Structure 1
Amino acid sequence: MAVKVLIVDDAAFMRMMIKDILTKNGFEVVGEAGDGAQGVEMFKEHKPDLVTMDITMPEMDGITSLKEIRKVDPNAKVIMCSAMGQQAMVIDAIQAGAKDFIVKPFQAERVLEAINKTLG
Structure 2
Amino acid sequence: MEDLSILVCDDSETIRKQMIDTLGTIGITNVYEASNGEEAIFVCREKEPHLVFMDIIMPKKDGIAALKEIHHQFPHVKVVMASSTSGLAHLKKSKLLGAYSFIQKPISEITLMNIINKYLDERSKSRSKV
TM-score range, shorter chain: over 0.9
TM-score (norm 1): 0.93
Alignment of 1:95-106 (within 5 A): 95-106=96-107
Runs of 4+ aligned structure 1 residues displaced above 3 Å come to none
CA contact (8 A) 2:37 2:61 kept: yes
Q: 1:10 to 1:29 in 2, by over 3 A?
A: farther
Q: Does 1:117 align with 2:121?
A: no
Deviation at 1:89, TM superposition (A): 0.6
Identity between Structure 1 and Structure 2 (%): 36
For residue 27 of structure 1, give the secondary structure of its aligned residue in structure 2. Answer: coil
**Which amino acid is the alignment partner of residue 118 of structure 2?**
K
Write the distance in 2 (CA, Å) between the matches of 1:46 and 1:117.
Answer: 22
In structure 2, the partner of 1:7 is: 8
> RMSD across aligned C-alpha pairs, in angstroms?
1.2
Q: 1:111 to 1:30 in 2, by over 3 A?
A: closer
In structure 2, the partner of 1:54 is: 55
Structure 1: state its 5+ residue gaps: none
Deviation at 1:54, TM superposition (A): 0.3
Aligned pair count? 120
In structure 2, the partner of 1:107 is: 108
Deviation at 1:28, TM superposition (A): 2.6
Write the distance in 2 (CA, Å) between the matches of 1:112 and 1:33.
Answer: 21
In structure 2, the partner of 1:32 is: 33
**Structure whose alpha-carbon radius of gyration is higher:** 2
Deviation at 1:2, TM superposition (A): 2.8
Write the distance in 2 (CA, Å) between the matches of 1:106 and 1:91.
Answer: 20
Write the distance in 2 (CA, Å) between the matches of 1:64 and 1:48.
Answer: 18
CA contact (8 A) 1:82 1:104 kept: yes
Structure 2: state its 5+ residue gaps: 123-130
When structure 1 is superposed on structure 2, of 71-80 and 33-42 the one drifting more is 71-80
**Which amino acid is the alignment partner of residue 118 of structure 1?**
Y
